[in-house]
Amino acid sequence: MNRFDQQHVLVIGATTGIGLATAHRLQQEGAHVILTGQSPERLQQAAAELGEATALPLDVASAASREAFVTALRARTDRLDAVIYNAGIAAFGPFEGFDEAAFDHQMAVNFKGAFFTVQALLPLLGEGSSLVFNTSINNQVGMPHSTVYAASKAALRSLSRTLAGELLPQGIRVNAVSPGPVETPIYQKLGLPPEQLQAMAGQVMGNVPLGRFGQPDEIAAALAFAASKDASFMVGEELVVDGGWTGL
């Protein structure tokens, strides 16, 4: 099934986990994939894995990096058929322990970066294109120690809904995919000791009726669907993929 034949699809944040799995899925379905990453080493590794793909560095939290990225992108293509915004960071901790710098950084990547990156990409999107934000079920559940992360994802979910209405007259479909707990490298980046990570995983698993973490490929399938013409009647929606956490 080649739903993306001859299409240029940009995956923002595609060097590991869900983003890389999504890039692979899109490529398998015929897309010319453009991937971004903040780490030059991981970006190079991901590009090598994919083979025929365009890899461009991007730090979504930096205005200068966003400007350089868009300039480089426009030198390679004059259109994008779909954009999947997957860049994100997670930092968990007690509400009383969060400092302003940590707050600002998480919001800068998860929400502000999404807002201004997509704004800069609008001239490349047109009739029939699709924009998908990868959010999180944390935007709707009250998980302790997730205050800033959850707020950033709720802002991203809100952005997807409001842009869905605003960009519809231009023929651009906007939707969101909200994963539950997924087995990705993001957990290793939390900076928690192994025993604390294991305890956290056990608590999370207790909320998932399927009794396991999701896999990146499972979220990639949902993101590819939302970006494709198969979802042509889906606008402003939140596709939840969480093993039953919020539905049962």
Task: Inform me whether the pLDDT recorded for 26 exceeds 90.
Answer: yes
pLDDT over threshold 90, residue 189: no
Q: What is the pLDDT of residue 188?
A: 55
Under a CB-based contact definition with an 8 Å cutoff, are residues 88 and 13 in contact?
A: yes
Asked, for residue 248, whether it belongs to a domain, the answer is no
- The answer, yes or no, to whether residue 220 has pLDDT greater than 80, is yes
CB-based contact 94:149 (threshold 8 Å): no
Is residue 85 annotated as a catalytic residue, yes or no? Answer: no
Is residue 247 assigned to a domain?
no
127 within a domain of the structure (yes/no):
yes
> Average pLDDT for residues 192-214, to the nearest whole number?
78
pLDDT band at 95 (very low <50, low <70, confident <90, very high): very high
User: In percent, how much of the chain has pLDDT > 90?
Assistant: 87
Q: Are 48 and 98 spatial neighbours (Cβ–Cβ below 8 Å)? A: no
How much is the average pLDDT of 150-159? Answer: 98
Q: What is the pLDDT of residue 67?
A: 98
Domain that holds residue 137: 8-241
Edge-to-edge strand list for the sheet holding 54-57: 54-57, 32-37, 8-12, 82-85, 130-134, 173-179, 238-241
Residue 1 maps to a domain: no
Overall domain count for the chain:
1
Residue 2 lies in a domain: no
- What's the pLDDT score for residue 104? 97
**CATH number where 216 lies:** 3.40.50.720
Which of 158, 85, 154, 90 minimizes the C-alpha distance to 119?
A: 85
pTM, two decimals, is 0.94
Over the chain, what is the mean pLDDT?
A: 94
d(Cα 19, Cα 41) in Å, to the nearest integer? 16
Over residues 40-53, the pLDDT tens digits come to: 999 999 999 999 99
pLDDT at 186 over 70: no
Among 69, 92, 149, 245, which one carries the catalytic annotation? 149
Query: Is 35 inside a domain boundary?
Result: yes
pLDDT at 109 over 70: yes
What pLDDT, in 10s, does the model give residues 69-83?
999 999 999 999 999
For the cut 90, the answer to whether the pLDDT of residue 150 exceeds it is yes
pLDDT of amino acid 206: 85
**Position 3 in a domain:** no
Inform me whether the pLDDT recorded for 194 exceeds 70. Answer: no
Residue 202 reports pLDDT greater than 70: yes
Q: How high is the pLDDT of residue 205? A: 83
Instruction: Tell me, yes or no, whether 246 lies in a domain.
Output: no
Using CA atoms, how far apart are residues 138 and 213, in angstroms rounded to an integer? 15
User: Percentage of the chain with pLDDT > 70?
Assistant: 93
Residue 197 has pLDDT above 70, yes or no: no
Summarize the confidence of residues 144-164 as an average pLDDT.
96
